[in-house]
Protein backbone atom coordinates (compact mmCIF):
# COMPACT_ATOMS: atom_id res chain seq x y z
CA UNK A 1 0.00 0.00 0.00
CA UNK A 2 1.44 3.42 -0.98
CA UNK A 3 2.41 5.78 1.82
CA UNK A 4 -0.22 8.44 2.54
CA UNK A 5 1.23 11.73 3.71
CA UNK A 6 -2.17 12.97 5.00
CA UNK A 7 -2.45 9.77 7.07
CA UNK A 8 1.05 10.23 8.48
CA UNK A 9 0.25 13.86 9.24
CA UNK A 10 -2.94 12.79 11.04
CA UNK A 11 -0.96 10.31 13.15
CA UNK A 12 1.52 13.04 14.05
CA UNK A 13 -1.36 15.31 15.05
CA UNK A 14 -2.82 12.56 17.22
CA UNK A 15 0.49 11.87 18.94
CA UNK A 16 0.97 15.61 19.44
CA UNK A 17 -2.47 15.88 21.07
CA UNK A 18 -1.56 13.21 23.63
CA UNK A 19 1.56 15.11 24.60
CA UNK A 20 -0.18 18.47 24.60
CA UNK A 21 -2.88 17.19 26.96
CA UNK A 22 -0.15 16.39 29.48
CA UNK A 23 1.51 19.78 29.06
CA UNK A 24 -1.67 21.85 29.25
CA UNK A 25 -2.14 21.27 32.96
CA UNK A 26 1.42 22.10 34.03
CA UNK A 27 2.32 25.16 36.05
CA UNK A 28 5.71 26.81 35.70
CA UNK A 29 7.22 24.49 38.28
CA UNK A 30 5.96 21.52 36.27
CA UNK A 31 7.68 22.82 33.15
CA UNK A 32 10.97 22.95 35.08
CA UNK A 33 10.58 19.46 36.49
CA UNK A 34 13.52 17.17 35.62
CA UNK A 35 12.91 14.28 33.24
CA UNK A 36 14.77 10.94 33.05
CA UNK A 37 17.02 12.46 30.35
CA UNK A 38 20.03 13.69 32.30
CA UNK A 39 20.00 17.46 32.72
CA UNK A 40 16.78 17.98 30.78
CA UNK A 41 13.55 19.44 32.12
CA UNK A 42 10.06 19.06 30.67
CA UNK A 43 10.59 22.40 28.96
CA UNK A 44 13.82 21.18 27.37
CA UNK A 45 11.97 18.23 25.85
CA UNK A 46 9.44 20.56 24.22
CA UNK A 47 11.96 23.10 22.97
CA UNK A 48 13.83 20.19 21.38
CA UNK A 49 10.70 19.07 19.51
CA UNK A 50 9.75 22.58 18.43
CA UNK A 51 13.28 23.42 17.29
CA UNK A 52 13.62 20.33 15.14
CA UNK A 53 10.12 20.77 13.74
CA UNK A 54 11.30 24.14 12.43
CA UNK A 55 14.49 22.55 11.08
CA UNK A 56 12.60 19.69 9.41
CA UNK A 57 10.25 22.17 7.76
CA UNK A 58 13.23 24.17 6.52
CA UNK A 59 14.89 21.05 5.11
CA UNK A 60 11.81 20.36 2.99
CA UNK A 61 10.96 23.89 1.87
CA UNK A 62 14.31 25.71 1.81
CA UNK A 63 17.10 23.13 1.48
CA UNK A 64 19.71 25.82 0.80
CA UNK A 65 18.95 27.52 4.13
CA UNK A 66 19.06 24.14 5.83
CA UNK A 67 22.43 23.38 4.24
CA UNK A 68 23.84 26.68 5.49
CA UNK A 69 22.53 25.99 9.00
CA UNK A 70 23.98 22.48 8.98
CA UNK A 71 27.36 23.74 7.73
CA UNK A 72 27.50 26.23 10.60
CA UNK A 73 26.69 23.47 13.10
CA UNK A 74 29.27 21.15 11.54
CA UNK A 75 31.95 23.84 11.83
CA UNK A 76 31.26 23.95 15.56
CA UNK A 77 31.48 20.19 16.04
CA UNK A 78 28.01 19.13 14.90
CA UNK A 79 24.56 19.17 16.44
CA UNK A 80 24.61 19.50 20.22
CA UNK A 81 21.13 18.88 21.70
CA UNK A 82 22.27 20.09 25.13
CA UNK A 83 23.43 23.39 23.65
CA UNK A 84 20.10 23.78 21.83
CA UNK A 85 18.20 23.10 25.05
CA UNK A 86 20.28 25.69 26.90
CA UNK A 87 19.38 28.39 24.37
CA UNK A 88 15.69 28.31 25.22
CA UNK A 89 15.68 27.81 29.00
CA UNK A 90 14.72 31.42 29.62
CA UNK A 91 11.34 30.87 27.94
CA UNK A 92 8.29 30.27 30.08
CA UNK A 93 6.13 27.17 29.78
CA UNK A 94 3.45 29.18 27.99
CA UNK A 95 6.00 30.46 25.48
CA UNK A 96 7.35 26.97 24.84
CA UNK A 97 3.87 25.55 24.36
CA UNK A 98 2.95 28.32 21.92
CA UNK A 99 6.16 27.64 19.97
CA UNK A 100 5.46 23.92 19.88
CA UNK A 101 1.87 24.49 18.70
CA UNK A 102 2.98 26.86 15.95
CA UNK A 103 5.94 24.79 14.73
CA UNK A 104 4.00 21.55 14.79
CA UNK A 105 1.01 23.07 13.00
CA UNK A 106 3.15 24.47 10.18
CA UNK A 107 5.04 21.19 9.84
CA UNK A 108 1.85 19.10 9.63
CA UNK A 109 0.17 21.38 7.10
CA UNK A 110 3.23 21.51 4.84
CA UNK A 111 4.24 17.85 4.95
CA UNK A 112 0.66 16.64 4.38
CA UNK A 113 0.89 18.12 0.88
CA UNK A 114 4.34 16.80 -0.07
CA UNK A 115 5.07 13.81 -2.25
CA UNK A 116 6.08 10.94 0.05
CA UNK A 117 9.17 10.14 -2.04
CA UNK A 118 10.54 13.71 -2.07
CA UNK A 119 14.17 13.59 -0.88
CA UNK A 120 14.92 16.01 1.91
CA UNK A 121 18.35 16.67 3.45
CA UNK A 122 19.05 15.92 7.09
CA UNK A 123 21.99 15.71 9.49
CA UNK A 124 22.66 12.16 8.36
CA UNK A 125 21.84 10.83 4.89
CA UNK A 126 18.95 12.47 2.99
CA UNK A 127 15.59 10.81 3.54
CA UNK A 128 12.17 10.76 1.99
CA UNK A 129 9.52 13.21 3.14
CA UNK A 130 7.53 10.23 4.43
CA UNK A 131 10.49 9.06 6.52
CA UNK A 132 11.05 12.58 7.84
CA UNK A 133 7.44 12.83 8.98
CA UNK A 134 7.57 9.35 10.49
CA UNK A 135 10.68 10.39 12.41
CA UNK A 136 8.74 13.31 13.90
CA UNK A 137 6.12 10.83 15.15
CA UNK A 138 8.85 8.70 16.72
CA UNK A 139 10.53 11.72 18.31
CA UNK A 140 7.23 13.00 19.69
CA UNK A 141 6.42 9.64 21.23
CA UNK A 142 9.92 9.21 22.70
CA UNK A 143 10.24 12.69 24.18
CA UNK A 144 6.62 12.44 25.25
CA UNK A 145 7.62 9.35 27.25
CA UNK A 146 10.21 11.43 29.09
CA UNK A 147 7.56 14.04 29.89
CA UNK A 148 5.06 11.40 30.98
CA UNK A 149 7.66 9.78 33.23
CA UNK A 150 8.52 13.15 34.77
CA UNK A 151 4.94 14.00 35.71
CA UNK A 152 3.78 10.47 36.55
CA UNK A 153 1.40 9.89 33.65
CA UNK A 154 0.92 6.49 31.99
CA UNK A 155 -0.03 6.79 28.33
CA UNK A 156 -2.27 4.29 26.60
CA UNK A 157 -0.34 2.43 23.84
CA UNK A 158 -1.71 3.07 20.35
CA UNK A 159 -1.21 1.65 16.86
CA UNK A 160 1.01 4.65 16.17
CA UNK A 161 3.74 2.62 17.87
CA UNK A 162 4.15 0.92 14.50
CA UNK A 163 5.92 4.05 13.26
CA UNK A 164 8.34 3.92 16.19
CA UNK A 165 9.03 0.23 15.68
CA UNK A 166 9.43 0.62 11.91
CA UNK A 167 12.05 3.34 12.28
CA UNK A 168 13.81 1.31 14.95
CA UNK A 169 14.03 -1.75 12.71
CA UNK A 170 15.18 0.37 9.77
CA UNK A 171 17.89 1.99 11.90
CA UNK A 172 19.63 -1.30 12.72
CA UNK A 173 22.56 -0.63 10.35
CA UNK A 174 22.75 2.98 11.55
CA UNK A 175 23.05 1.80 15.16
CA UNK A 176 25.99 -0.43 14.25
CA UNK A 177 27.68 2.36 12.31
CA UNK A 178 27.44 4.69 15.33
CA UNK A 179 29.37 2.14 17.37
CA UNK A 180 31.92 1.42 14.65
CA UNK A 181 30.68 -2.14 14.23
CA UNK A 182 29.80 -4.24 11.20
CA UNK A 183 26.22 -5.43 10.91
CA UNK A 184 26.10 -9.23 11.21
CA UNK A 185 25.06 -11.10 8.10
CA UNK A 186 22.39 -12.93 10.08
CA UNK A 187 18.95 -11.33 9.64
CA UNK A 188 16.78 -10.68 12.67
CA UNK A 189 13.07 -11.43 12.76
CA UNK A 190 11.00 -8.98 14.81
CA UNK A 191 7.49 -10.02 15.87
CA UNK A 192 5.49 -7.57 17.96
CA UNK A 193 2.04 -7.78 19.52
CA UNK A 194 0.26 -4.58 18.56
CA UNK A 195 -2.09 -2.68 20.90
CA UNK A 196 -5.06 -3.61 18.68
CA UNK A 197 -4.26 -7.35 18.79
CA UNK A 198 -2.52 -7.52 15.41
CA UNK A 199 0.93 -9.03 14.88
CA UNK A 200 3.53 -6.75 13.31
CA UNK A 201 6.53 -8.40 11.70
CA UNK A 202 9.82 -7.46 10.08
CA UNK A 203 12.55 -9.73 8.70
CA UNK A 204 12.49 -13.26 7.26
CA UNK A 205 10.04 -15.61 8.95
CA UNK A 206 12.64 -18.39 9.22
CA UNK A 207 15.41 -16.27 10.77
CA UNK A 208 17.10 -17.94 13.75
CA UNK A 209 17.74 -14.59 15.46
CA UNK A 210 14.50 -13.15 16.80
CA UNK A 211 13.02 -10.41 18.96
CA UNK A 212 9.44 -10.93 20.12
CA UNK A 213 7.17 -9.17 22.59
CA UNK A 214 4.85 -6.19 22.75
CA UNK A 215 5.15 -3.20 20.46
CA UNK A 216 5.33 -0.98 23.54
CA UNK A 217 8.32 -2.82 24.98
CA UNK A 218 10.16 -2.74 21.66
CA UNK A 219 9.45 0.99 21.26
CA UNK A 220 10.74 1.66 24.78
CA UNK A 221 13.86 -0.37 24.01
CA UNK A 222 14.69 1.08 20.61
CA UNK A 223 14.20 4.69 21.78
CA UNK A 224 16.27 3.89 24.89
CA UNK A 225 13.48 4.94 27.26
CA UNK A 226 13.75 1.72 29.28
CA UNK A 227 16.62 -0.63 30.02
CA UNK A 228 16.35 -4.00 28.28
CA UNK A 229 16.38 -5.78 31.66
CA UNK A 230 13.09 -4.10 32.57
CA UNK A 231 11.26 -5.23 29.43
CA UNK A 232 9.57 -8.54 28.65
CA UNK A 233 11.08 -8.94 25.19
CA UNK A 234 12.28 -12.39 24.17
CA UNK A 235 15.65 -12.08 22.43
CA UNK A 236 17.08 -15.14 20.69
CA UNK A 237 20.43 -15.47 18.90
CA UNK A 238 23.71 -13.53 19.00
CA UNK A 239 22.79 -11.03 16.28
CA UNK A 240 19.54 -10.14 18.05
CA UNK A 241 21.25 -9.89 21.43
CA UNK A 242 23.92 -7.57 20.08
CA UNK A 243 21.34 -5.37 18.40
CA UNK A 244 19.30 -4.82 21.56
CA UNK A 245 22.51 -3.76 23.31
CA UNK A 246 23.18 -0.88 20.91
CA UNK A 247 19.96 -0.23 18.98
CA UNK A 248 18.54 3.28 18.71
CA UNK A 249 15.83 4.74 16.52
CA UNK A 250 16.97 8.35 16.83
CA UNK A 251 19.73 10.23 15.05
CA UNK A 252 22.79 11.56 16.83
CA UNK A 253 25.45 10.09 19.03
CA UNK A 254 24.74 6.90 21.00
CA UNK A 255 22.57 7.66 23.99
CA UNK A 256 23.19 6.63 27.57
CA UNK A 257 19.76 5.06 27.85
CA UNK A 258 18.19 4.24 31.20
CA UNK A 259 19.43 2.25 34.19
CA UNK A 260 18.04 -1.17 35.15
CA UNK A 261 15.23 -0.81 37.66
CA UNK A 262 14.93 2.94 37.17
CA UNK A 263 11.16 2.76 36.68
CA UNK A 264 10.15 -0.13 38.91
Domain ranges (residues) in the chain: 5-151, 161-246
Averaged over successive runs of 10 residues, the pLDDT of the chain (264 residues) comes to: 90 98 96 96 98 97 94 88 96 98 98 97 90 97 98 97 97 93 97 98 98 98 97 98 95 84 87
For the segment(s) 161-246, the CATH number from 1.25.40, 2.30.240, 3.40.50, 3.30.1050 is 3.30.1050
Q: Which residues contact 73 (CB under 8 A, 6 or more apart)?
A: 79, 123
* CA triple 250-256-23, angle to 5 deg: 65
- At residue 254, the pLDDT reads 79
> Residue 127, SS3?
strand
Long-range own/partner contacts, residues 134-137 (CB < 8 A, 24 or more apart)? 134/8, 134/163, 134/166, 134/167, 135/56, 135/167, 135/251, 136/12, 136/52, 136/53, 136/56, 136/107, 137/8, 137/11, 137/12, 137/15, 137/163, 137/164
> Residue 188, SS3?
strand
Helix axes 129-151, 161-170, angle to 10 degrees: 120
- At residue 256, the pLDDT reads 79
Using left for φ > 0, alpha for ψ between -120 and 50, and beta otherwise, residue 29 falls in: alpha
> Residue 177, SS3?
helix
Q: Please say whether the beta carbons of 179 and 246 come within 8 A.
A: yes
- At residue 184, the pLDDT reads 97
Rounded CA-CA distance 117/127 in Å is 9
Q: Where are the beta strands (DSSP E) in 46-126?
A: 119-120
* DSSP code at position 33: -
Rounded CA-CA distance 4/19 in Å is 23
Please provide residue 34's backbone torsions phi and psi, each rounded to the nearest 5 degrees. Answer: -70, 145
Q: Please say whether the beta carbons of 85 and 93 come within 8 A.
A: no
What architecture is the 5-151 domain classified under in CATH? Up-down Bundle (1.20)
- At residue 59, the pLDDT reads 97
> Residue 122, SS3?
coil
Amino acid sequence: MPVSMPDLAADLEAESAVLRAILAGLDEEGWRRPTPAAGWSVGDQISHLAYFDDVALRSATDPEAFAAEKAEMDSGGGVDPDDIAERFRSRSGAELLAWFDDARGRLVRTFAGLEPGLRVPWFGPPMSAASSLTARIMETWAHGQDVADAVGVIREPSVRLRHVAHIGVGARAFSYALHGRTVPEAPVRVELDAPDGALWTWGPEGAADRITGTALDFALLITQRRHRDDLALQVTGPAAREWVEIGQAFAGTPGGGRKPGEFT
